[in-house]
């Protein structure tokens, strides 16, 4: 997978060349919330299963992160990202 960043529990890493993409930081912070809500084992099991079953582009955890980073990028209406993640897992 060619991705600009990766999240591991409450820490995320971004490639140097992507470090100025604010939507990428937002995207990875969504994954931090997903990790927290699902707990590490739950997140890892679900993430791997989704990638295997749906592929990266259609994995629901990724689609949620992309939808929210697009919302951020487009300056969408205010919403609690934490509540959104919790309700939509």
Q: Is 14 in the site for Zn ion (CB under 5 A)?
A: no
Take residue 44 and report the two structure tokens written for it. Answer: 């890892």
Nearer to Zn ion, 3 or 39 (CB): 3
Instruction: Pick the binder of Zn ion from 65, 68, 72, 85 (CB under 5 A).
Output: 65
Q: Binding-site residue total for Zn ion (CB under 5 A)?
A: 2
Q: Is 24 in the site for Zn ion (CB under 5 A)?
A: no
Site map 44..63 versus Zn ion, x via CB under 5 A? ------------------x-
SS3 21: coil
Please count the CA atoms within 13 angstroms of the CA of 11 that sit on its side-chain side: 2
> Least distance from C-beta 56 to Zn ion, angstroms?
8
3-class SS letters over 56-86: HHHCHHHHHHHHHHHHHHCCCCCCCHHHHHH
């Amino acid at each position: 997978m060619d991705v600009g960043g990766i999240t591991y529990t409450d820490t995320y890493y971004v490639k140097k060349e992507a470090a100025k993409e604010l939507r990428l930081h937002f995207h990875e912070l969504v994954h931090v919330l997903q990790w927290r809500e699902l707990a590490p084992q739950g997140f890892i099991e679900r993430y791997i299963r989704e990638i295997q079953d749906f592929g990266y582009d259609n994995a629901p955890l990724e689609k949620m992160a992309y939808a929210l980073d697009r919302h951020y990028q487009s300056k969408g209406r205010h919403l609690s990202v934490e509540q959104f993640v919790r309700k939509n897992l």
